[in-house]
Amino acid sequence: MLGFENQVVLITGAGRGIGRQHALFFAERGAKVVVNDYGGGLRGENGNNPAPADEVVAAIEAAGGTAMSACNDITDSAQVKSMVDAAVGRFGRLDVVIHNASVYAPIGSFTEARVEDLDRILHVNVHGGWNVVHAAWPHMVANGYGRVVVTGSGAGFFGRRRDQAYSVAKSALMAFAKLLATEGEGAGIKVNLVGPVAWTENAKLQGIPSLMEEFAPPLLVSNLVAVLAHADCPVNGEMFHCGGGFVARVFIGETQGTVFDAKSMTPEAVLAEMGSIMDETGYKVPANSDRSGAHLSAAIAAANPAFAAALAEAKRKR
Domains and CATH numbers, the chain: 8-250 (3.40.50.720), 267-317 (no CATH)
pLDDT, mean over the chain: 94
Cβ atoms of residues 170 and 152 within 8 Å: yes
Residue type, 15: G
Using alpha carbons, select from 105, 113, 206, 114 the residue that is nearest to residue 153.
206
Indicate the SS3 state at residue 70.
Answer: strand
- CB under 8 Å to 287, separation ≥6 — which residues? 178, 181, 182, 237
Give kind and range of the element (H or E) at residue 128. helix 128-143
Mean pLDDT within 114-135: 97
Active site residue 166: yes
3-state secondary structure 213-247: HHHCCCHHHHHHHHHHHCCCCCCCCCEEEEECCEE
CA angle, 62 then 65 then 66, to 5°: 110
242, β-bridge pairs:
196, 247
Mean pLDDT within 216-242: 97
Report how far apart, in Å, the C-alpha atoms of 198 and of each of 25, 99, 141, 201, 244 are: 15, 16, 33, 10, 7
pLDDT (0 to 100) of residue 263: 92
pLDDT (0 to 100) of residue 3: 97
> Alpha helix locations (H) across 159-234?
164-184, 201-205, 212-215, 219-229
Cα dihedral sign, 7-8-14-19? negative
Give kind and range of the element (H or E) at residue 36. strand 32-36
pLDDT, one tens digit per residue, over 178-202 is 999 999 999 999 999 999 999 887 7
pLDDT (0 to 100) of residue 190: 98
**Which is the catalytic residue, given 38, 104, 145, 166?**
166
- CB under 8 Å to 214, separation ≥6 — which residues? 199
Lowest mean pLDDT among 63-72, 198-207, 208-217, 224-233: 198-207
pLDDT, one tens digit per residue, over 61-120 is 999 999 999 999 999 999 999 999 999 999 999 999 999 999 999 889 999 999 999 999
Q: Cα–Cα distance between 169 and 120 in angstroms, integer?
A: 10
194, β-bridge pairs:
151, 240
Classify each residue of 41-64 as buried b or exposed e, where b means 16 or more C-beta atoms within 10 Å of its C-beta: ebebeeeeebebbbbbbebbeeee
Using alpha carbons, select from 148, 16, 27, 143 the residue that is nearest to residue 88.
143
pLDDT, one tens digit per residue, over 243-272 is 999 999 999 999 999 999 989 999 999 999
pTM of the model: 0.94
Q: Cα–Cα distance between 134 and 138 in angstroms, integer?
A: 8
Tell me the pLDDT band of 208, cut-offs 50, 70 and 90. Answer: low
250, β-bridge pairs:
239
Residues written for the chain: 318
pLDDT, one tens digit per residue, over 162-176 is 999 999 999 999 999
pLDDT top residue among 136 and 308: 136
Tell me the pLDDT band of 44, cut-offs 50, 70 and 90. Answer: low
Lowest mean pLDDT among 85-94, 127-136, 266-275, 285-294: 285-294
Tell me the pLDDT band of 2, cut-offs 50, 70 and 90. Answer: very high
Residue type, 32: K
**CB-CB neighbours of 141 under 10 Å:** 16
Mean pLDDT within 129-157: 98
Indicate the SS3 state at residue 31.
Answer: coil
Residue 42 has pLDDT above 70, yes or no: no
pLDDT (0 to 100) of residue 215: 83
249, β-bridge pairs:
240
pLDDT (0 to 100) of residue 47: 76
